[in-house]
Amino acid sequence: MSEKYEAGMAVRRDVLGDAHVDRAEATKTGLDEPFQSLITEAAWGTVWASDAISRRERSMLTLALLAATGNFAEIPMHIRATANTGASREDVMEAFQHVAIYAGVPAANHAIKLARETYAEMDAA
Question: CA–CA separation, 59 vs 95, rounded Å?
Answer: 9
Long-range residue pairs from 61-65, CB within 8 A, at least 24 positions apart, any chain: 61/95, 63/87, 63/92, 63/95, 63/96, 63/111, 63/115, 64/95, 64/96, 64/98, 64/99
Percent share of the chain, pLDDT over 90 = 99
User: How does pLDDT run across 33-58, given as a tens digit for each residue?
Assistant: 999 999 999 999 999 999 999 999 99
Using CA atoms, how far residue 43 sits from 7, 19, 88, in Å, is 11, 19, 22
State the pTM of this model: 0.93
Kind plus residue range of the DSSP H or E element containing 83: helix 75-85
Q: Give the pLDDT of residue 1.
A: 79
User: How does pLDDT run across 51-77, given as a tens digit for each residue?
Assistant: 999 999 999 999 999 999 999 999 999
Burial class (CB in 10 A: 0-12, 13-18, 19+), 59: buried
Higher pLDDT, 1 or 38: 38
